Amino acid sequence: MNDAMPAPESADGASAGEPAGATPAPESVEPVAPQETHEPAEAAPLGVGREPTGHPGVDAHLARLGAVDHLPADGHLEVYEDVHRGLRAELTSLDAHPAPRPNENRS
């Protein structure tokens, strides 16, 4: 039987799957009002592990991500942006050419 269609009623008003003479469940049940709270939830660690990369600069920035476990959600953005800037700087430094030394001959 299709769940979208109600079961046909018998002559005594019972649905096809119910025994004759069964009383239908009451439809007037008082709804439970949700409890309104306007307080933010306590900060809870996400439990995401951070594995060391072997690059000290990158590992230092990634370690900062552990600080967000103790901050409310509205404080996460500042830390994430700071870590992102630091990681971009680390990646950019990998592309930078080292400056030639004073006595280095490049011929």
Span 16-43, pLDDT tens digits: 555 555 565 666 667 776 677 777 667 6
Q: CA-CA distances (angstroms) from residue 8 to 14, 27, 64?
A: 8, 18, 63
Share of the chain above pLDDT 70, in %: 57
Quick one: CA dihedral 73, 74, 77, 78, positive or negative? negative
Distance CA 70, CA 75 (A): 9
CB 72 within 8 A of CB 43: yes
Compute the average pLDDT of residues 73-82.
90
Retrieve residue 85's tokens: 């800037």
Strand blocks (E) in 58-107 = none
Can you state the angle between helices 76-95 and 56-64, rounded to 10 degrees?
Answer: 170
The alpha carbons of the chain give a radius of gyration, in whole angstroms, of 32
Q: How far is CA 83 from the centre of its chain?
A: 18
Share of the chain above pLDDT 90, in %: 19
